[in-house]
Structure 1
Amino acid sequence: MTVIRSIIRGTGSYLPARVMLNSELAAEVETSDEWIQERTGIRQRHIAADGEKTSDLALAAARAALQAAGVEAEDIDLIVLATATPDQTFPATATKVQAALGMTRGFAFDVQAVCSGFVYAMTVADNFIKAGQVKRALVIGAETFSRILDWQDRTTCVLFGDGAGAVVLEAATGDGSVADRGILTSHLHSDGRHHDLLYVDGGPSSTQTTGYLRMEGNKVFKHAVANLSEVISESLAATGLKADDLDWIVPHQANKRILDGTAKKMNIPAERVIVTVDHHANTSAASIPLALAEAVADGRIKPGNLVLLEAMGGGFTWGAVLVRM
């Protein structure tokens, strides 16, 4: 049986030049490098410069992914950009990237699922490819979370950073087996009952302000480990694979304790989990593509590897994408 698969043709990333160490935060709020590393695993994060927008980060990552894929902007049919920190309420930040790339064909739009955004965006693009409406898609996760942080709230401001990552997806044919290259399965979930555990306290129709991020960290942690373990199991069950078959897990880089807790619950060795939270912090929708691009660039993730992408974010939203590189 011949099927259409969405293969990852190229990856790219971008991080702002400014690096903020834990010691810099400790000079502003009641915290310490030791406390932050012990609770989160984070040593540093990148912070966008004044005037540096989400679209700027996204554009740089997109150009890197296009170059890695060996394609031009005019070869792209679709841009899906995952972000919770758009340049403006509208138009979509994806259309700004489209214009900056000089892309005048196809279509572009944003997806908002917070930290799960890249998994959602990958699934959306994959479905367009499988439907035959798109041949190549540029999928981007980009955030400037530093713009929605309360820098006096030590429980949240230490956790987040800015950045962008991107992949080029391309239609290819497979035989319908798990040996195929490309996206093998994807699974998305949400549960709006947990709004108050992770949210931003502002918005155009409520406060007419941007607002700040608010979170009940301990409760989010418990939901994250449970939900992510379940969606990993769901992905494996859908393909008849086992955790031992996975070469790598590329998780949303929320917190080292969540990464460790999920891996332990699934009996997945820690050495098979890509970890970048220590030097990127939590970059929301950008964290998975940033980690993926880093692991591809340094040779850990190789062609043919079976890789699971998984994330949970505010909403709650969560999901996973299983892909053979």
Structure 2
Amino acid sequence: MTAGTALNEIILAEPRGFCAGVDRAIEIVERAIAKFGAPIYVRHEIVHNTYVVNELKAKGAIFIEELDEVPPGATLVFSAHGVSKAVENEARARGFSIFDATCPLVTKVHVEVAKLAREGYEFIMIGHKGHPEVEGTMGQLSSGIHLVEDVADVARVQPAQTDKLAVVTQTTLSVDDAAEIAAAVRARFPKVREPKQQDICYATQNRQDAVKLLSPQVDVVIVVGSPTSSNSNRLRELAERLGTTAYMVDSAAELQPAWFEGRARVGLTAGASAPEVLVAEVIERIKALGAVSVRSLPGVEEHLKFPLPKGLKLDDQPPPQHIS
């Protein structure tokens, strides 16, 4: 685009924003507050989005990292990212009333790890060191899980044996990066056992596929998501890898007019933990900078909904007002 090109169109990726696991996690906190009253304690950010966390704080959620911050007899919610066995056991030993908001697709990985560990397997986990989901999954066992973050790490893994070795994956990774690392694992450990269905979740896959469709059609991509959100970061990286300048913003206030100079078409998407209200505010801000039309690309329609844990039915009361 030339410098004189005017900002004209916003093109929306489909799907974008909340996934079923995020919807469920937020609803668990909201229902717990409605049923048991504030405060409700939540270990770690329920999902990695600043707006969502602040909205829940305003309703009566207190976010903590250490269980000794929770008073005796309190209601505690585990975040969507899951927790280690040590955290789970300590929480039960302390007698908290616990609701587990771990995404069922993360729980699936935990169950697979526990099952194969009983059969004598060691594990290679593809993921980002320090991410709470990775800490939760690796913490399902006291030993025998080796973390790899890139292809180079695969060469450094030293399992105790290679006859029973399985690979698991953080659910919010770049699909392409994970495939490359998994190929390196297979090349070094030909007998490695892989999951029947990939661990990367449907929502991560769908949002990345949507960005692959979006990026070539626009001059700049904006991703709505918080800096701590793994899947949002991957969307920005993917657009850049495809050759399109991309920025990630936590809110419309972070948009810079200079990003849109000489660019006619803006692509817009949102990570799986970013609410649609933020997307709407970003659209209005870009319109204020000159965009005149908004259209959505065709994409996969998502209808998945996960059930809530027992004990959160509100006895026929209407459900609490939900963050959208």
Instruction: Report the TM-score, using the length of structure 1 for normalisation.
Output: 0.29
The structure where strand makes up a greater share of residues is 1
Q: Please identify the structure whose Cα radius of gyration is greater.
A: 2
**What's the TM-score, normalizing by structure 2?**
0.29
